[in-house]
Structure 1
């Protein structure tokens, strides 16, 4: 059988060539694997991994050798993808790879067990053995595999926590990753609470990684903030932990429907402003930009009725989205939201995008200046001044460009959490509190920095 010809046909997307290579079994492995490791080959790498996976056990040892000797990260990635999904009847074959001298092989074997999910429970002792691995990637893979096993892994991990040894730290990470606070036993919960109290004392603010939305209110009355946002179950945390929880909730795609709206991080007063990070349930479960925008506006207006001023900001770490909403005394005075517009169907269409697609402005309603607020009384002689004119006046007054980023507006008008530092005056404590979506529900999974 001419394997080179079959590979040429496979490059041309001939499914019969794939079937022929799989039927050839062990005889085809070396040629297919050599092609997989050749980054210049015209054969799609994923077609080659599929062949090796279907051949099964005969691919195991050659893939181990190729992984250990991979000359580039790309070759290692390809071989690891094939290795993790081999069609073998007994997954115990991966045990030997967990003890291989190459960290790439050990990590790939842990990845293979991770894909088994709950069926990997018999391999828990092997995975826990990797908690002491010198390679951080291998330790992380072992934690992810334990997470995939789920609640069934908790008793074994708790046992590790009560025994001596270097595995204890990674076991704590695995427990938090599986079930958050609820996965910890009483001893660990007490230890974490004490550590939070020690680290919170005199904690210096540090910049927050911004991805999502947050509110800014000029108050140090945390009880009033909790009441207005409908938050319960408040628990003191460090500022570092609160920010880590917010980012975990927005980037952990395994948390499910209420992952981003179960809890909110409320800062201490920072230069007189309390920041509230998170997504309210009233916003999280809406569909459509207009409905979300209108709900945010209404909430900002409501907050400003109680606190005099309320700001809402939004930013993304993955694209150019940014937004803000400013309200005073129950009225939205300015709102900006940039939305990625769809490209024109006709590539020759050079027309400008519809302004309503990319920005939303509300009337600028002048207010009398007061401490901590930059808005001043605006006197306009005569009538007939357009909303656009008033909005542009606002931007000129505060040097806000038409497409300013939310962090710039926060710097000018309140507090920019992305630039927090030791010069910031801190009053009170940071807390995590539950929304209506999180109340009476299991704690949010995630290993958070304290």
Structure 2
């Protein structure tokens, strides 16, 4: 939390956090119109700590560079750090994978014209495997547009973030009663300008 600049932690349950972060994401929270003012910091789950909220989007036009910096810094300290975006309403996926202080991969598939500008590093094994399943080359030009086969890949990539998260660490979408949990989750304010003005975190 110190590395991320998070403050005013308030213990909450997973269920409470889910409702609050969902409300934030839809711009329905007082004092948090852009959803960036607060995040949920989970207890340790299967050896990972999850930080959940719009503030963590690795391909956000305003926050992307900062998320990249933070993941790189965290991976230097803890060995690995990842950031994801997943729009459950077919809004796309994005992933950022960092290890030992270096970014291995950043990829964005949300249908926006700027998606290809976020691409860094070589495709992950899971990306390559999915493309091969589609009969596509494991190497490709991200800037290529209008190619029907590549459109098929972009459609598949829209839903890939949860699968990558599960393969490389853990996903909040796969937590069960059997998941190893240690500690207490908290809702915390981010250093985003609206964070200091968001009032109580719960």
Q: For the superposition of Structure 1 and Structure 2, which TM-score range results when normalised by the shorter chain?
A: 0.7 to 0.9
Of 60, 66, 69, the residue aligned with 1:295 is 66
Give 1:409 shift: 0.3
Q: In the aligned structure 2, how far is the partner of 1:434 from the partner of 1:294?
A: 20
Please name the residue that 1:362 is paired with.
120
Q: Which has the higher strand share?
A: 2
TM-score by length of 1: 0.35
Structure 1 residues 235, 297: closer, same or farther in 2, change over 3 A?
same
Structure 1 residues 340, 273: closer, same or farther in 2, change over 3 A?
same
Deviations 1:103-153 (A, max 9, x none): xxxxxxxxxxxxxxxxxxxxxxxxxxxxxxxxxxxxxxxxxxxxxxxxxxx
Counterparts of residues 212-291 of structure 1 (less than 5 Å): 226-253=1-28, 255=30, 258-280=33-55, 289=61, 291=62
Contact 1:312 1:324 in 2 (8 A): yes
Structure 1 residues 264, 396: closer, same or farther in 2, change over 3 A?
closer
Structure 1 residues 431, 398: closer, same or farther in 2, change over 3 A?
farther
Structure 1 residues 396, 407: closer, same or farther in 2, change over 3 A?
closer
Please name the residue that 1:338 is paired with.
109
Contact 1:259 1:444 in 2 (8 A): no
1:325 aligns with 2:105: no
Structure 1 residues 396, 239: closer, same or farther in 2, change over 3 A?
closer
Contact 1:339 1:359 in 2 (8 A): no
Give 1:431 shift: 1.0
SS at match of 1:314: strand
SS at match of 2:91: coil
Q: Which has the larger radius of gyration?
A: 1
Of 378, 392, 395, the residue aligned with 2:125 is 395
Give 1:265 shift: 0.5
Structure 1 residues 400, 269: closer, same or farther in 2, change over 3 A?
farther
Q: In the aligned structure 2, how far is the partner of 1:334 from the partner of 1:414?
A: 15
Give 1:434 shift: 1.7
Contact 1:310 1:327 in 2 (8 A): yes
Deviations 1:69-126 (A, max 9, x none): xxxxxxxxxxxxxxxxxxxxxxxxxxxxxxxxxxxxxxxxxxxxxxxxxxxxxxxxxx
Q: In the aligned structure 1, how far is the partner of 2:186 from the partner of 2:120?
A: 33
Structure 1 residues 306, 268: closer, same or farther in 2, change over 3 A?
same
Structure 1 residues 423, 399: closer, same or farther in 2, change over 3 A?
farther
Counterparts of residues 77-88 of structure 1 (less than 5 Å): none
SS at match of 1:280: helix
Give 1:306 shift: 1.8
Structure 1 residues 252, 444: closer, same or farther in 2, change over 3 A?
farther
For these two proteins, the number of residue pairs brought into alignment is 175
Q: In the aligned structure 2, how far is the partner of 1:320 from the partner of 1:261?
A: 18
Higher relative contact order (CA 8 A, sep 6+): 2
SS at match of 2:3: helix
Q: In the aligned structure 1, how far is the partner of 2:25 from the partner of 2:197?
A: 21
SS at match of 2:176: coil
**Structure 2 unmatched runs, 5+:** 132-152
Structure 1 residues 241, 228: closer, same or farther in 2, change over 3 A?
same
**Structure 1 unmatched runs, 5+:** 1-225, 343-355, 364-390, 446-450
Q: In the aligned structure 1, how far is the partner of 2:87 from the partner of 2:167?
A: 19
Query: What CA RMSD, in Å, does the superposition of the two structures yield over aligned residues?
Result: 3.1
Structure 1 residues 359, 337: closer, same or farther in 2, change over 3 A?
farther
SS at match of 2:188: strand
Give 1:360 shift: 4.2
